[in-house]
Amino acid sequence: MCYRSYIADWLYFERPMIDRFIGAEFNVQFEGPPVRIDGDEYPLGGFIERQIQWTRIIPEEAFALRQKLREVVDQTVREWMDGREFEFVPAIFEKPFADREAADAEAERQIRAFARPLPDFGEGL
């Protein structure tokens, strides 16, 4: 299901997707292949989706919106990372998990630990 969802846009649109930003209300998709000019990448256009309805955006609008979304992502990640320690390592191809099934089970256990609903103490409290 995840695989099909990930490649669906590549199957249904004529242009390849170069970026996608998914929010709670909007899904923004940028089309390529990008036009490269002086180190900048310009999408050929894009779509904004809201509740199963789409609107197309022209290349100029797509470029401006993509730049803004990228800035917001970077700023949000910087703020979120503040005070946390991370080790960044070279991005080389390697199998990320010695045991994928065990890694998935551990990730699910962690999610259930933090997403557990609070106990119901009754209406009187």
pLDDT tens string, the chain, 125 residues long: the values are 777 766 776 666 778 889 999 999 999 999 999 999 999 999 999 999 999 899 999 999 999 999 999 999 999 999 999 999 999 888 887 777 788 899 889 888 888 888 876 666 665 54
pLDDT the model gives residue 100: 84
Cα separation, 65 vs 21, whole angstroms = 11
pLDDT the model gives residue 119: 66
Domain definitions of the chain by residue range? 12-82
pLDDT the model gives residue 94: 73
- Find out whether 76 and 69 touch, Cβ atoms under 8 Å: no
Residue 96 contacts by C-beta under 8 Å, 6 or more apart in sequence?
103
Q: Kindly report whether the peptide bond that precedes residue 119 is cis, defined as omega within 30 degrees of 0.
A: no
Cα separation, 125 vs 121, whole angstroms = 7
> Strands 17-22 and 45-50: what pairing?
unpaired
pLDDT the model gives residue 62: 95
